[in-house]
Amino acid sequence: MTGKTAKYPCRVLFMPSGLRGTSGPEETLLGAARRLGVDLDSACGGRAICGRCQIAVQEGRAEKEGITSAAGHLSPPTEAEKKYADLRGLRQGRRLACQARVMGDVIIDVPPESQLHEQLVRKEADSRDIAVDPLIRALPLRLDDPAELAAALAEEWAITEVEIDESVTPPAGEVTAILHQPHIDATPRVIDVRPGFDEKLLGLAVDVGSTTIAAHLVDLHTGDVLAAAGRMNPQIRFGEDLMSRVSYAMMHENGAQEMTRAVREAINELAAEVSRDHGGPGRILDVVLVGNPVMHHLLLGYDPIPLGQAPFTLHTDQAVEQPARNIDLDLAPGARSYVLPVIAGHVGADAAAVVLAEAPHERDAVSLIVDVGTNAEIVLGNRARLLACSSPTGPALEGAQISSGQRAAPGAIERVRIDRATLKPRFKVIGVDVWSDAEGFAEQVKKTGITGICGSGIIEVVAEMYLAGVIDEDGRFNTALADTSPYVEARGRSFAYILRPQTDGQKEVSITQEDVRAVQLAKAALYAGARLLMDEMGIDAPDRIRLAGAFGNHIDPLYAMVLGLIPDCDLNRVSSAGNAAGTGARMALVSMEARREIERLAREIVKIETATEPRFQEHFVAAMALPHKSAPMPHLAAAIDLPPRKPQARRTRRTRRR
């Protein structure tokens, strides 16, 4: 390792994959990317001809990484790169990775068009029937004089009060007037007038996550999803977790505006993508957006800095309905936008959407609903009472800040099993149909490589390491195994478990002591938040657990419980809620009643603030153990053989000498 550090002295972090390593002036960025398993396209053999390896440098200081990144930390453009720019053009700030060399620490953005394999954004639309209570109507009219639009609506449809959006310029003749009415007492607003009879009504539901953004194009008549797309949130380059982005806003004069512009541009790109076969974004009449409070504030152009410290003051906790053009969305000229209400300082509009979709308030059974992300949002309750809180899990469970961690993409390990006797691992890789010990794996994996381990794999490998005795309940390595097993290595004063050794030009994939500790910190924060709500509710366990979000959709409930990510519960009653936030956004898109219901519920939910709750630290410390230091786990123990717990040290009272 020492020789390698000397050869490659500069640190390089590739986003959005989160893969990192070292490089130097003797190696191109493209070479470093390939060595580290980064998904970066190139078809010309590094001759600056194809232009597929375009990258950009993130400017500024990343405190958590300890990296100060600047465009000047790459070598100057080569003659070949200048020639390419002259002939074909390079967007401002872009470089060709096949020509650029690392002269200092850098954070590199790999844009979607430079990725050979599309980054997986696992927020698919759930196939669920949604009650439609339309906010938008298409009314055919005979309009002899465009100036008489209001009079024609009164005469033909008995609509005596109407507002006309400033963008509307109606043609004469047979037309279709598009009216929007956000709630029953609101005055209808004409947002579009189309020539002829055209009742095709399209809306967009957008889940703005801190890591990923997912958009669904919806038929407003039926509630059906016509198209869907997702991409990594470009704000990742400003910080992987929410507090890093708040810090970026604090430390850079126009930091918040940069992040606002980035997320709005991404939504516009997604709108264009999903509507490509349906008339384009100019046909989209309404958009509903959900996100956590920091995403909510940045999307709407509100200052996020007050969310960085207690009392976590919101600019507004109300639903926001306004023209889509007010937030720079390039849709139909008169299109409207609606952002669901925010529940609390760190329990956002996405959590409100989850409540709308999951409807725990309509059940007698107590539901624990967890939306696992960089900031876990937790809801507990039933028809009698609903409680909510958030826990700062950080990005470790999504692969960031893990030595071999990465986002979910082809080549990432997503499932792990460890032989209890030999400690030999076997694993499954995204993009490969078979497990690593199956016939045909070696041939199939050539297409993707083995580039790292993503969130679901991280949960499983740490849980399996515990079950196999590689680590104890406190997360510490069994150091004696380094002398007897080829899969456990001593590294200085620390240890690592080897999932895949470094071979054939492929980098090693391993789990270090530091990785285990990062996972423990994340899972303890989530468990402690859930435990606080259970204390407040006066229960020892929920009746059912629902794991929401893209990450929750791919967690194995058994391993989540072995890890201690969630409290003990009948495993048959632990299930995925899918993209519940996206489903809730779709419900609000097509239903006036759904908007009214969530605005009422958001006011009634009891908020528990983990940052100021003194019991949180006590629960957090106990939850650091695997699966937990003291909580009984009868359902888990019935499902799997757990290692025996360590006897807890008894406290003895000291007697004072006289």
Q: What is the DSSP string of 266-298?
A: HHHHHHHHHTTTTT-GGGEEEEEEEE-HHHHHH
pLDDT for 178-224, tens place per residue? Answer: 999 988 888 999 999 999 998 899 999 999 988 889 999 999 999 99
Q: How far apart are CA 413 and CA 430, in angstroms?
A: 6
Ramachandran assignment for 538, one of left (phi > 0), alpha (psi -120 to 50 degrees), beta (any other): left
Please state, rounded to an integer, the average pLDDT across all residues of the chain: 89
- pLDDT given for residue 129 in this prediction: 64
- pLDDT given for residue 276 in this prediction: 95
Buried b (16+ CB within 10 A) or exposed e, 454-465: bbbbbbbbbbbb
pLDDT for 351-407, tens place per residue? Answer: 999 999 999 999 999 999 998 877 789 999 999 999 999 988 877 777 667 888 887
Q: Average pLDDT, stretch 42-46?
A: 80
- pLDDT given for residue 656 in this prediction: 43
In this structure, what token pair is assigned to residue 375?
């900031």
- pLDDT given for residue 2 in this prediction: 36
In this structure, what token pair is assigned to residue 290?
């959900």
- pLDDT given for residue 409 in this prediction: 82
pLDDT class of 482 with cuts at 50, 70, 90: very high
pLDDT class of 117 with cuts at 50, 70, 90: low
Q: Average pLDDT, stretch 120-131?
A: 57
Domains of the chain (ranges; CATH) run 2-114 (3.10.20.30), 117-339 (3.30.420.480), 351-392+527-614 (3.30.420), 396-518 (no CATH)
- How many CB atoms are located within 10 Å of the residue 166 CB? 10
Burial class (CB in 10 A: 0-12, 13-18, 19+), 502: exposed
Whether the pLDDT of residue 1 is over 50: the answer is: no
Strand partners, 548: 371, 578
Do residues 481 and 513 make contact, with C-beta atoms less than 8 angstroms apart? no
Q: Average pLDDT, stretch 65-77?
A: 88
* C-alpha distances in Å from residue 641, one per residue of 424, 567, 575, 628, 637: 19, 17, 21, 15, 6
Burial class (CB in 10 A: 0-12, 13-18, 19+), 89: exposed
Q: How far apart are CA 390 and CA 161, in angstroms?
A: 44
- pLDDT given for residue 654 in this prediction: 46
Whether the pLDDT of residue 75 is over 60: the answer is: yes
Q: How far apart are CA 612 and CA 379, in angstroms?
A: 18
- pLDDT given for residue 519 in this prediction: 95
- pLDDT given for residue 200 in this prediction: 92
Q: Average pLDDT, stretch 92-110?
A: 92
pLDDT for 129-166, tens place per residue? Answer: 678 889 999 999 999 998 999 999 999 999 999 999 99
- How many CB atoms are located within 10 Å of the residue 414 CB? 20
Sign of CA dihedral 293, 294, 297, 302: positive
In this structure, what token pair is assigned to residue 296?
């909510």
Buried b (16+ CB within 10 A) or exposed e, 108-122: bbbeeebbebebbbb
Do residues 577 and 119 make contact, with C-beta atoms less than 8 angstroms apart? no
Phi then psi dihedrals of residue 287, to 5 deg: -135, 135
pLDDT more than 70, % of the chain: 93
Q: Which amino acid is at 559?
A: Y
Q: How far apart are CA 315 and CA 299, in angstroms?
A: 12
Whether the pLDDT of residue 112 is over 90: the answer is: no
Q: How far apart are CA 211 and CA 466, in angstroms?
A: 29
Angle at 185 (CA atoms; ends 181, 188), nearest 5 degrees: 30
Q: Average pLDDT, stretch 537-552?
A: 89
